[in-house]
Structure 1
């Protein structure tokens, strides 16, 4: 069994799937430029590590934001930890952590002050111990007294993930956590996340353009293209579905299809003028 994989529950001699922490059904989101998400279904179960993948414009970030209740779907439903969004967002988010490689850190707060602020916001009973544990878990204890402007982009990413995992969430959502990271930092992120999932049964939903890192981190991947789910399975299953050797091949295949479709639309629009 993959470390940290959901083990299920034995009932009546049979193994049943772990309970879902996220259920999104038939999500639709339209913008002025067109339909960004078109009927997406996504289920993430307790302890599961899932990659939400696809080329630029596939609908990943919009889907992620709808699953967090930050953007309201035009159609479909989202349940997080048993709470329907957006009405139950406040209750659901108590058990969710979120981090993104592009989110800034406060310039003037020291790292330990920043983490302590969130530990207090989460209402943790032992906030100081939680901060120390997070610093140690992701190997950033030496950065405790640094301020945001003194950190590299990789270090800021580690601090952001440490913040998101302070309260040991049941679901951790990460948007491009390893973008442009040095290999040693990416390894530290991956090791920390795998350990968190294995120890606490935390489910992980992550978007990334780094297919090699996804194959190392995720046991299941969901590919989007043009706002729709085109594949859902283990990395090996999805690669076989597209007759590719690995996820990078799948990604490039879908990106080429997207470019051909855009070029075709452009020619059609030019001809209609």
Structure 2
């Protein structure tokens, strides 16, 4: 499979602190790549650089074979994201927010797309509710609906099911997998749910202190750390058992 996203020696410094330290990886066409690591490992910073929210200190990003800094508008028109850390306009209703997204992306059939995604994420009961009055779980579903609405070629998901109940979380995972199968969409996926990470990811990149310390399938990473459970690998890293970077 061809690489859709290519990251080379990506670094981000905040003053003297290196949040991301020279990482390189790729996301292949139709692949779900898990980005795993403890809090502060650099996951969200990496996604924000891939979206152009923050500027890398150094390194290169290519998406669809195009340098991001020179083709930002073309690239972002085919990319979307969902994050629990990014809010949407609070004075608009759920449906109004989705309509704005549809217009910004120049979508056709906006109303039918909204109806479809609201039904899939079981948002009917709060589609006319003001965004500022949503619960955390409802806000997460709105963020996911915004991301799915545009049917992107590349989707960045930062802890997409973190505040969802188990039933909605399972339906969300099923929808992601269905969209991947039907459209060949590529996904970068972060989560602290190790079972979810194994279920969803074709490969995993493991970050610690801003550096990649393991990369491969969940099975290969567990073998590298001498564990049978991905959660045990995570705990080992969180408690300081960090090997030399790859």
The normalised TM-score by structure 1 is: 0.83
Of 154, 165, 189, the residue aligned with 2:137 is: 154
Q: How many residues align?
A: 242
Of 84, 93, 98, the residue aligned with 2:81 is: 98
2:207 maps to 1:227: no
2:146 maps to 1:167: no
Q: Partners in 2 of 1:62 and 1:146 — Cα distance?
A: 31
Q: Which has the larger radius of gyration?
A: 1
Tell me, yes or no, if the aligned pair for 1:100 and 1:157 is still in contact at 8 Å: yes
The normalised TM-score by structure 2 is: 0.92
SS in 2 for 1:257: coil
Task: Spell out, residue by residue over 1:148-192, the C-alpha distance to the aligned partner (whole angstroms, 9 max, x if none).
Answer: 244321121111111112111000001121223321221122122
Give me the CA root mean square deviation: 1.7
Q: Partners in 1 of 2:237 and 2:76 — Cα distance?
A: 33
The list of structure 1 runs, each at least 4 consecutive aligned residues, that deviate by more than 4 angstroms after superposition, is none
SS in 2 for 1:44: strand
Aligned counterpart, 1:268: none
2:181 maps to 1:198: yes
Aligned counterpart, 1:189: 172
Aligned counterpart, 1:4: none
Task: Spell out, residue by residue over 1:243-271, the C-alpha distance to the aligned partner (whole angstroms, 9 max, x if none).
Answer: 11222111111111179xxxxxxxxxxxx
2:232 maps to 1:242: no
2:43 maps to 1:25: no
Tell me, yes or no, if the aligned pair for 1:50 and 1:220 is still in contact at 8 Å: yes
Tell me, yes or no, if the aligned pair for 1:139 and 1:188 is still in contact at 8 Å: no
Q: Partners in 1 of 2:120 and 2:169 — Cα distance?
A: 14
Q: Partners in 1 of 2:155 and 2:143 — Cα distance?
A: 12
Instruction: Map residues 68-87 of structure 1 onto 2, 5 A cutoff.
Output: 68-87=51-70
Aligned counterpart, 2:110: 127
Of 111, 122, 130, the residue aligned with 2:94 is: 111
- Specify whether residues 34 and 108 from structure 1 end up closer, same or farther in structure 2 by C-alpha distance, changes over 3 A only: closer
Q: Partners in 1 of 2:138 and 2:22 — Cα distance?
A: 37
- Specify whether residues 207 and 144 from structure 1 end up closer, same or farther in structure 2 by C-alpha distance, changes over 3 A only: same
Aligned counterpart, 1:51: 34
Aligned counterpart, 1:38: 21
1:242 positional shift: 0.7
SS in 1 for 2:149: coil
